[in-house]
């Protein structure tokens, strides 16, 4: 067990081989991606009943946030415990537009209840859908850029950063709950009726929304993957594994980290904006310390070093949550806690790590059988090639 724990950091990407990977290896990734995409975009809407499809859309929203966490934490080593804040910013931006749209020039219902007489100035621009959507992404990005610039420039990192982001999540919730007339307080924003002229309760609209969420997730996944494979991504991983060394090489880790953090925040914001019409509510309970941590848990379960693992983890945990809390609500907390303890202590690389380990084991078996003459291959030039997809995929 200690061996797994110690070898937490994935091996360095392989030195460029003289001949690139074989055609079969190069096609494997795109093939799997296409398969999953077809499954999600064609099969799921045809086969699932509207209720389940709606749930799946919700999980996929969480998966978008998880993708951002995978980027910031798995690749960049920044454990962000405040993604819920960015998710909430996007969600509230969208919720405010929907509320104003439904009210049709009047005050939103909850404001009337809490005795607000005039539309607050903060709300006015959100009557414009373009502004709302742009803000849902730009707001979190700007907040993350500001926070990142302040924090990373001072070399505040690791656990300190985690604590600060967690405090941000806690403070945001208290702020939202306290400003009843502005934010709907504990209840948040809910009771939405239409989006861009479409009835939100209609199955057709929800199916359309599902397709949009799935497509956005797919595009963001490809973008994130490209980012990780670029020079920028290499730098990010290098910073995760030895920030001071990268600084000595003349790079500025603060910039790289801030940009990555902002990208992950933008993803969370977009996910929040998609989440609101899908689920029909955004409230402080959906973005506080606990939901933010739960998403980190999901990423850890799926496999933090792999973007696909992060996505898979979020969908699986979302599904597990729904099915278990339908059966026994209290048991879920035990299960979640226990699962988490087990994953962190026994399989820190998550499901994808286990998968890669199993594949390596099989590969090592076949290799040692076919080339007994070569002797010890462990750590040799061929070794990491098998491991590479896990570190980068």
Partner 1 sequence: MEAVVNQLPIGLSIGAVLLLIALGLTFTFGQMGVINMAHGEFIMAGAYTAYLLQGWAGRQAVLVALPVAFAVAGIMGLILERLAIRHFYGRPLDTLLLTWGVSLVLQQLARDLFGAPNVQVQAPTWLQGGMGILPYNRLFIFALAVGSVVAIWGYMNRTSQGRRMQAVMQNRQLAAVSGINTGRVDQRTFFIGSGLAGIAGVALTLIGPVGPALGTYYIVDAFLVVVAGGLGRLGGAVIAAAALGLLNSYAEFWTNASLAKVIVLVVIIGFLQVRPQGLFVLRARALT
Binding site for partner 1 (CB under 8 A): 1-2, 5, 8, 77, 79, 147, 150-151, 154-156, 158-160, 162-164, 166-168, 170-172, 174-179, 243-244, 289, 293, 296-297, 300, 330, 333-334, 336-341, 344-345, 348
CB of residue 84 vs partner 1: minimum separation in angstroms?
A: 13
CB of residue 140 vs partner 1: minimum separation in angstroms?
A: 16
Q: What is the distance between the alpha carbons of residues 257 and 153, in angstroms, rounded to a whole number?
A: 10
CB of residue 187 vs partner 1: minimum separation in angstroms?
A: 15
Task: Choose between 40 and 298: whose C-beta lies nearer to partner 1.
Answer: 298
Q: What is the distance between the alpha carbons of residues 76 and 95, in angstroms, rounded to a whole number?
A: 31
Task: Choose between 204 and 244: whose C-beta lies nearer to partner 1.
Answer: 244
Structure tokens at 156: 């505040």
Q: What is the distance between the alpha carbons of residues 300 and 293, in angstroms, rounded to a whole number?
A: 10
Q: What is the distance between the alpha carbons of residues 4 and 350, in angstroms, rounded to a whole number?
A: 11
Q: What is the distance between the alpha carbons of residues 57 and 213, in angstroms, rounded to a whole number?
A: 6
Task: Choose between 47 and 167: whose C-beta lies nearer to partner 1.
Answer: 167
CB of residue 100 vs partner 1: minimum separation in angstroms?
A: 23
List the one residue out of 80, 75, 15 whose CA is nearest residue 391: 75
Task: Choose between 82 and 91: whose C-beta lies nearer to partner 1.
Answer: 82
Task: Choose between 151 and 356: whose C-beta lies nearer to partner 1.
Answer: 151
Structure tokens at 204: 């057709």
Place of tokens 């003349």: 250
Sequence-distant (6+) residues with CB within 8 A of 157 are: 78, 151, 243
Task: Choose between 232 and 334: whose C-beta lies nearer to partner 1.
Answer: 334
Q: Specify whether the CB–CB gap between 310 and 271 falls below 8 A.
A: no
CB of residue 348 vs partner 1: minimum separation in angstroms?
A: 7
CB of residue 307 vs partner 1: minimum separation in angstroms?
A: 19
Structure tokens at 334: 């035990």
């Amino acid at each position: 067990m200690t061996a797994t724990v110690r070898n937490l950091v994935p091996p360095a990407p392989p030195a460029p081989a003289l001949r690139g990977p074989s055609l079969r290896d190069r096609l494997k990734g795109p093939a799997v991606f296409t398969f999953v995409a077809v499954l999600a975009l064609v099969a799921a809407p045809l086969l699932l009943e509207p209720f389940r499809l709606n749930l799946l859309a919700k999980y996929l929203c969480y998966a978008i946030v998880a993708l951002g966490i995978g980027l910031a934490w798995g690749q960049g080593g920044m454990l962000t415990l405040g993604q819920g804040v960015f998710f909430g910013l996007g969600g509230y931006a969208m919720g405010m537009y929907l509320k104003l749209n439904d009210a049709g020039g009047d005050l939103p219902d909850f404001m009337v209840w809490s005795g607000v007489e005039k539309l607050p100035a903060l709300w006015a621009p959100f009557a414009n859908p373009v502004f709302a959507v742009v803000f849902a992404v730009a707001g979190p990005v700007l907040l993350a850029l500001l926070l990142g610039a302040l924090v990373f420039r001072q070399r505040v990192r690791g656990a300190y950063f985690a604590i600060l982001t967690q405090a941000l999540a806690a403070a945001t919730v208290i702020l939202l709950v306290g400003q009843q007339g502005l934010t709907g307080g504990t209840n948040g924003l809910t009771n939405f009726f239409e989006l861009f002229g479409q009835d939100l309760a209609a199955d057709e609209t929800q199916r359309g929304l599902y397709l949009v969420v799935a497509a956005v997730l797919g595009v963001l996944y490809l973008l994130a993957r490209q980012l990780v494979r670029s020079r920028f991504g290499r730098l990010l991983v290098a910073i995760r594994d030895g920030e001071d060394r990268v600084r000595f090489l003349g790079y500025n880790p603060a910039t790289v980290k801030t940009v990555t953090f902002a990208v992950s925040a933008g993803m969370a914001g977009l996910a929040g904006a998609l989440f609101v019409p899908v689920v029909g509510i955004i409230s402080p309970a959906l973005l506080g310390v606990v939901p933010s941590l739960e998403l980190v848990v999901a990423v850890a379960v799926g496999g933090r070093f792999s973007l696909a693992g992060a996505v898979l983890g979020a969908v699986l945990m979302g599904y597990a949550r729904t099915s278990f809390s339908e059966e026994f609500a209290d048991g879920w907390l035990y299960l979640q806690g226990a699962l988490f303890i087990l994953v962190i202590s026994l399989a820190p690389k998550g499901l994808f790590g286990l998968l890669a380990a199993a594949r390596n084991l099989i590969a090592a078996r076949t290799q040692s059988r076919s080339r007994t003459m070569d002797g010890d291959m462990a750590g040799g030039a061929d070794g990491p090639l098998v491991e590479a997809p896990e570190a980068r995929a």
